[in-house]
């Protein structure tokens, strides 16, 4: 059983398990799935300022903080007890393309050549980590939720705004991966 857990799960197992979180949350208390709102709950509970955005009853959403803590704990357990010592199999075409940008050192799909403390202080690293992080945060707030909230929860509830947000996420991802990222990586 432990060996099964250490292997990558195929889409037809992992996808339905992720999808089943929606009805489970709805049945267990009419809760909505989403991760980005947890940062708002943390800020509302820790920051005593009179900022209107954080003035709400965050205590009724405390389940979301436990959910995120469970994700963190699950990640720690997965990384320590269930990690697969074999290297992650990466498509050879992707390896060749990354090598063209000078990215040859990656571990478990994290390109260590550009995702490290030293790279943070380069133009390329700053754009990828800082500017990219700010844009993701802005986009999440502007869209009223993250990809997991819109694409998993919103689409399963047939919400039109979630369909629009998910289509925009996909278009933005295609543009970033195919047009902007190659330019940044060539800096």
**The predicted structure's pLDDT at residue 163:** 94
Expressed as residue numbers, the domain containing 144 is 90-187
Q: Which long-range contacts (CB under 8 A, 24 or more apart) does 10-13 make?
A: none
- Render 132-152 in DSSP notation, one character per residue: HHHHHHHHHHHHTS-HIIIII
Number of domains in the chain: 2
The C-alpha atoms of residue 92 and residue 74 are separated, in whole angstroms, by 30
**The predicted structure's pLDDT at residue 107:** 67
Q: Please identify every stretch of the chain with a pLDDT value under 50, giving residue numbers as ranges.
A: none
**The predicted structure's pLDDT at residue 58:** 85
**The predicted structure's pLDDT at residue 70:** 93
Residue entry with tokens 């060996």: 3
**The predicted structure's pLDDT at residue 95:** 85
Is-contact 138 172, C-beta < 8 A? no
Q: Say if residue 104 is in the same domain as residue 179.
A: yes
pLDDT tens-digit readout, 32-44: 877 888 888 888 8
Q: Say if residue 137 is in the same domain as residue 175.
A: yes
- Which of 70, 86, 102 delimits the end of a domain? 86
- Which of 86, 110, 141 delimits the end of a domain? 86
């Amino acid at each position: 059983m432990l060996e099964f857990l250490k292997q990558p799960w195929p889409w037809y197992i992992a996808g339905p398990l992720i999808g089943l979180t929606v009805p489970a949350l709805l049945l267990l208390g009419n809760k909505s799935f989403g991760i980005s709102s947890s940062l708002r709950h943390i800020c509302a509970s820790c920051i005593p300022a009179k900022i209107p955005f954080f003035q709400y009853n965050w205590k009724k959403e405390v389940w979301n903080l436990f959910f995120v803590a469970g994700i963190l704990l699950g990640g720690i357990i997965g990384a320590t007890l269930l990690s697969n010592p074999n290297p992650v199999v990466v498509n050879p075409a992707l390896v060749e393309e990354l090598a063209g940008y000078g990215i040859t050192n990656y571990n478990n799909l994290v390109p260590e050549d550009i995702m490290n403390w030293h790279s943070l202080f380069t133009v390329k690293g700053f754009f990828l980590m800082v500017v990219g992080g700010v844009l993701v945060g802005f986009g999440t707030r502007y869209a009223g939720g993250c990809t997991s909230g819109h694409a998993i929860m919103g689409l399963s509830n047939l919400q039109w705004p979630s369909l629009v947000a998910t289509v925009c996420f996909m278009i933005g991802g295609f543009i970033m991966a195919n047009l902007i990222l190659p330019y940044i990586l060539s800096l």
